[in-house]
Structure 1
């Protein structure tokens, strides 16, 4: 056990990723064998993996540091506006461009403010949904470890590949179109940028992720070729937003704040050892 504990401390990042995949993909082999009627993708994987890894490798000190990142709320009102409104702006631009190209949007007439608020509130506290299932793990646990020995741009690119591929069962068994993988990769840069610009606040990335999943391109009700074109437009719009951060906020990609890398000297050694 001491040898395993020592190994785990020095390989926390790869162990976390493997455990996240194992939990989220748990039903994939069972479904493939015909034992389950359908594949159940479990978004809680990263959250559960972070809880397990911190308990095994770090203990109370790790839980305290992790919880501080999750509950960090003193970031300035402007960043709350960015977290909540930027995803909606990206969707609005996507829908507007698609409708300019001739797409019909029957779903807009069915949207209500109260309905969106209910969806937002439920998603915010549901660990079996993307925001709460992913953010405490991917941003709250993995990003500080990645940035302990890497530039933010490198950390975002590596995490983008991991998170995109993590969604693969949704592509294979339905629920997400193929364009969803590159879109997931690209939008990871926005989340890492927001995480760093708010001093390592998981709360803000959680709000942003939740906003992204509440008012979506699907809310327009596009169908057929219009829906396919909308997904492609959304990818381009998100990529343009990421490019904007590269052009107008270059310092954010050169150095991460201490609060977003404050994982102690052990993390630097373990991360380098696992590279």
Structure 2
């Protein structure tokens, strides 16, 4: 069939078109007044990966993809980084903001048991960011990108596309505009972690989950102090990425074979 043949020849392009179309599907309905609000669907990248693999790669594609999803045999240090680095970045951001004069009215009220429960729920909810995004962005798109580009180049391309995918959240759901450049920059950390764990989507999913659970919002900042916290967080993420570029240069030159598409690449 011509359509399936086109998808087989342009897997990466087809994936991104579907990921955007599914996640933004309610936008046209909202624009013409048929929906009361824009419903952003984080599950788009996951569904897009399943559809493209089913139409263009078949069983072999699902086997390779599935191995990435459950790759858990990595050193304990990478589990520590995946779980604790996002929390550390949030803490550095929060306490820096406090040092600059911000008041953290909600800090003493943080329910750590509630954060743990939220972490557990988000881990298995495909309608939330970690499970809805990681199998697509890192599990499918990144290995294809790295088949033809260096990890650094692949991270830049993926970062732009993932950031723009979040645009409806800025326009309709109150996400701060600085969230887009922050998303672009933090993509480099996801790529670094993915490659350093031999292409483990499980580890990037844990990182994503931790990032969404431990946020600067836990400090209770409001108004201009909240805006400053978001700016500080952006700087903290930039510094974290810079650290990988300076102290782990080899990670950005060549991706491991297990983090590159094992199936023949095509024009897209």
Report the Cα distance in structure 2 between the residues aligned to 1:159 and 1:107, rounded to whole angstroms. 35
Deviation (angstroms), 1:12: 0.2
Deviation (angstroms), 1:175: 2.8
Alpha-carbon RMSD across the aligned residues, in angstroms, is 0.8
Deviation (angstroms), 1:107: 1.6
Aligned twin of 1:64: 63
Deviation (angstroms), 1:10: 1.4
Aligned twin of 1:125: 124
Aligned twin of 1:224: 223
TM-score, with structure 1 as normaliser? 0.96
TM-score, with structure 2 as normaliser? 0.98
Deviation (angstroms), 1:109: 1.4
1:29-67 superposed Cα distances (whole Å, 9 cap, x missing partner): 101111111110000000000000100000111001001
Gaps of 5+ in 2: none
Deviation (angstroms), 1:215: 1.0
Aligned twin of 2:100: 101
Aligned twin of 1:171: 170
Aligned twin of 2:203: 204
Deviation (angstroms), 1:174: 2.6
1:82-107 superposed Cα distances (whole Å, 9 cap, x missing partner): 00000000000000110000101112
What are the residue-to-residue correspondences of 1:121-270 with 2, within 5 Å?
Answer: 121-264=120-263, 266-267=264-265, 270=266
1:104-144 superposed Cα distances (whole Å, 9 cap, x missing partner): 11121121221111000010011111000100000000000
Report the Cα distance in structure 1 between the residues aligned to 2:253 and 2:6, rounded to whole angstroms. 31
Report the Cα distance in structure 2 between the residues aligned to 1:9 and 1:253, rounded to whole angstroms. 28
Gaps of 5+ in 1: none
Aligned residues: 268
Report the Cα distance in structure 2 between the residues aligned to 1:36 and 1:174, rounded to whole angstroms. 14
- Is 2:90–2:233's contact at 8 Å kept on the other side of the alignment? yes
Aligned twin of 1:39: 38
Report the Cα distance in structure 2 between the residues aligned to 1:148 and 1:10, rounded to whole angstroms. 15
Report the Cα distance in structure 2 between the residues aligned to 1:15 and 1:135, rounded to whole angstroms. 17
